[in-house]
């Protein structure tokens, strides 16, 4: 038994979960007419209703006791103070500094990093303004109409998701995104743009990421074939920390935008990684995105645990996964514009907390992050909600919706919200055999036919969910939502005792891929991989 699972706070929750095994959330509502109001929270314009979770006042108190046992408040202060919470890489995790105000202080190795963050954002803003207003022109004298962001992981998902969510507000060059090393991804984008009016933004912290550099080199060749070698400097900029490699590619030093090693890729959308956002939406809207995130930062840093939105979300996940046995976490955004929010949170959570050892190297004997997945409602209702309602496994669900749909079809938005609220209600309430019999009897069914039909129409219910409401999907509230999930991920990592800021698990596959691509590599490969490679070589097109 690990030190965590043997701890008093953990054991108290184990006993509490056994004691509450038969508790139904509908009964908790029946006992407490104020439950919906009490089990809710507001922060940075967002509203969280967690009253459909299988918790009562004692559960929440025990979860907060666990958080205090794991020194959450001290870890929160370490995070904000610039301590090297990423101990395996000896780095701070100061993404909060990226959205700080000019007078804020975030210290890394004795220096306040906020002034250089703002200096870099001002460089971004000047460049974005030049491109958007036609002062930056391509090699043939034409204005830029399209921007292609080439990156992968956090260098792609954040800007891609924000541009998708805020697409109605785009008033600059059209943004495009290439991430997959599958050439079909790059080809599909290049078919939509012209060399003369396209700007490529190459995003790679080290400027050595295999997929990103492979795509960048092909994009460069495409441009050079049309406009010549001299055009590269007018059609490529970089976001990186490695000036030498950027220069070797042909990008001028003045056209490289910086971020720092205390910015993890999946936390980097607020940095120069967000240059594509600024080009598409402008510096003011990028600033609003950061302002919403900063408001959530302040809430997370100052609110008591019992009314702290990121803390509550994380503790509820720990409760559902480690004590109630929920097998996954579903993101159900009832907003088409948030279609890419799920993939962004997938990387944020599973790359951060998908760990099997604690900070001290102890192998865990408890689940850490659940599998996180999902798509937009109402589409999801016609795909996998059958499993959520009647499958034997239980899954935690976050419903996310905007009060204002931001489009000229209010009747459609009413239907969307009705479905969102109905699904969370149905998952909680379920339908027992007695209710099914009564319903079928009223329809004229009886005898054996009725009894045979009953089991297929029973819904267990008691399935836990949260509902998060945004007033509207705009830069400020989107920023708050993203920061909410960043801090939720950190809180869960503290409870589980793991480092959420490294990602060594992605390295082994990269190393093997390089070996497979290198004809001179002498390292042995397993028989299955050798057979697959041999089969590919036999194909005429290989």
Query: Could you tell me if 238 and 256 are in contact, meaning their C-beta atoms sit under 8 angstroms apart?
Result: yes
Tell me the average confidence (pLDDT) per consecutive run of 10 residues in the chain, 542 residues long: 95 96 95 97 98 98 98 98 96 97 96 97 98 97 98 96 98 98 97 98 92 96 97 97 92 93 95 98 98 98 98 98 96 98 97 96 96 96 97 97 97 98 98 95 94 96 98 98 98 98 84 78 81 84 64
DSSP 539: S
Is residue 522 among the annotated active site residues?
no
**What does CATH list as the number for 8-81+291-429+463-502?**
3.40.50.10490
Distance CA 303, CA 324 (A): 27
Same fold for the domain at 8-81+291-429+463-502 and the one at 113-281? yes
E-only strand ranges, 235-286: 236-240, 256-258
The residue annotated as part of the active site, out of 382, 456, 522, 539, is 382
Query: Could you tell me if 151 and 206 are in contact, meaning their C-beta atoms sit under 8 angstroms apart?
Result: no
Site of tokens 């979860």 = 63
Question: Which candidate, 278, 203, 285, 292, places its Cα nearest to that of 482?
Answer: 292
Helices (H) then strands (E): counts for the chain: 23, 13
How many CB atoms within 10 Å of residue 57?
A: 12
Q: Which helix (H) or strand (E) holds 407?
A: none
pLDDT for 542 equals 61
The answer to whether the bond into 351 is cis (omega within 30° of 0) is no
Is residue 510 among the annotated active site residues?
yes
Query: Could you tell me the residue ranges of all domains in the chain?
Result: 8-81+291-429+463-502, 113-281, 507-538
Distance CA 76, CA 459 (A): 41
Q: Reply yes or no on domain 113-281 having CATH 3.40.50.10490.
A: yes
Report angle CA 366, 48, 428 to the nearest 5 degrees: 70
The residue annotated as part of the active site, out of 87, 407, 415, 510, is 510
Q: How far is CA 272 from CA 235, 291, 478, in A?
A: 17, 16, 18
Distance CA 400, CA 407 (A): 17
List alpha helices for 20-113, DSSP H.
Answer: 25-31, 35-38, 57-69, 72-81
How many CB atoms within 10 Å of residue 37?
A: 10
Q: How far is CA 165 from CA 23, 297, 299, 379, in A?
A: 39, 21, 24, 17
Question: Which candidate, 344, 266, 315, places its Cα nearest to that of 500?
Answer: 266
Distance CA 192, CA 173 (A): 13
Is residue 438 among the annotated active site residues?
no
Distance CA 399, CA 386 (A): 16
Tokens of residue 105, six digits: 């202080």
Helix pair angle (309-318, 475-496), 10° resolution: 50
SS3 of 293-319: HHHHHHHHHHCCHHHCHHHHHHHHHHH
Q: Which residues contact 261 (CB under 8 A, 6 or more apart)?
A: 89, 91, 205, 241
The residue annotated as part of the active site, out of 196, 351, 394, 396, is 351
DSSP 68: H
Site of tokens 């659940």 = 370
Question: Which candidate, 148, 163, 132, 150, places its Cα nearest to that of 198?
Answer: 148
């Amino acid at each position: 038994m690990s030190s965590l699972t043997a701890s008093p706070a953990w054991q108290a929750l184990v006993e509490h979960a056994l004691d509450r095994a038969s508790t139904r959330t509908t009964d908790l509502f029946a006992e407490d007419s104020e439950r919906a109001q009490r089990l809710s929270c507001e922060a940075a314009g967002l509203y969280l209703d967690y009253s459909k979770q299988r918790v009562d006042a004692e559960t929440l108190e025990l979860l907060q006791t666990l958080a205090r046992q794991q020194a959450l408040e001290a870890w929160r202060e370490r995070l904000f103070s610039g301590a090297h919470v990423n101990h395996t890489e000896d780095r701070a995790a100061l993404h909060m500094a990226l959205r700080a105000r000019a007078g804020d202080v975030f210290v890394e190795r004795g220096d306040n990093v906020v002034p250089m963050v703002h200096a870099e954002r001002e460089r971004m803003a000047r460049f974005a303004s030049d491109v958007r207003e036609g002062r930056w022109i391509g090699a043939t004298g034409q204005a830029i109409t399209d921007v292609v962001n080439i990156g992968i992981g956090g260098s792609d998902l954040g800007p891609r998701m924000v541009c998708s969510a805020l697409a109605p507000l785009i008033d600059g060059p059209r943004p495009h995104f290439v991430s997959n090393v599958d050439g079909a991804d790059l080809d599909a984008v290049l078919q939509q743009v012209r060399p003369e009016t396209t700007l490529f933004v190459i995003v790679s912290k080290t400027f050595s990421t295999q997929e990103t550099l492979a795509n960048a080199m092909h994009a460069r060749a495409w441009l050079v074939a049309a406009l010549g070698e001299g055009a590269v400097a007018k059609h490529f900029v970089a976001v990186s920390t490695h000036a030498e490699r950027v220069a070797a590619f042909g990008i001028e030093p003045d056209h490289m935008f910086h971020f720092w090693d205390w910015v993890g890729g999946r936390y980097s959308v607020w940095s120069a990684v967000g240059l594509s956002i600024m080009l598409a939406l402008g510096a003011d809207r990028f600033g609003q995105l950061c302002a919403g995130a900063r408001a959530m930062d302040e809430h997370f840093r100052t609110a008591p645990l019992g009314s702290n939105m990121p803390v509550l979300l994380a503790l509820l996940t720990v409760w559902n996964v480690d004590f109630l046995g929920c097998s996954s976490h579903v993101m159900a955004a009832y907003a088409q514009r948030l279609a890419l929010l799920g993939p962004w949170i997938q990387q944020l959570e599973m790359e951060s907390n998908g760990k099997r050892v604690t900070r001290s190297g102890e192998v865990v004997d408890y689940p850490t992050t659940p599998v996180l997945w999902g798509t937009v409602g109402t589409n999801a209702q016609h795909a996998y909600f059958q499993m959520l309602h009647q499958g034997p496994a239980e899954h935690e669900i976050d419903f996310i919706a905007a009060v204002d749909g931001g489009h000229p079809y209010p009747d459609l938005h009413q239907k969307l919200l009705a479905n969102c609220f109905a699904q969370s209600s149905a998952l909680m309430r379920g339908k027992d055999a007695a209710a099914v019999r009564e319903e079928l009897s009223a329809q004229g069914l009886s005898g054996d036919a009725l009894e045979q039909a009953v089991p297929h129409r029973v819904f267990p219910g008691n399935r836990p969910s949260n509902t998060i409401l945004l007033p509207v999907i705009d830069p400020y509230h989107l920023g708050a939502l993203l920061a909410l999930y960043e801090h939720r991920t950190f809180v869960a990592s503290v409870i589980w005792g793991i480092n959420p800021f490294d990602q060594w698990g992605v390295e082994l596959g990269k190393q093997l891929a390089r070996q497979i691509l290198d004809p001179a590599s002498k390292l042995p490969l397993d028989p299955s991989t050798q057979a697959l490679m041999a089969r590919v070589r036999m194909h005429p097109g290989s």
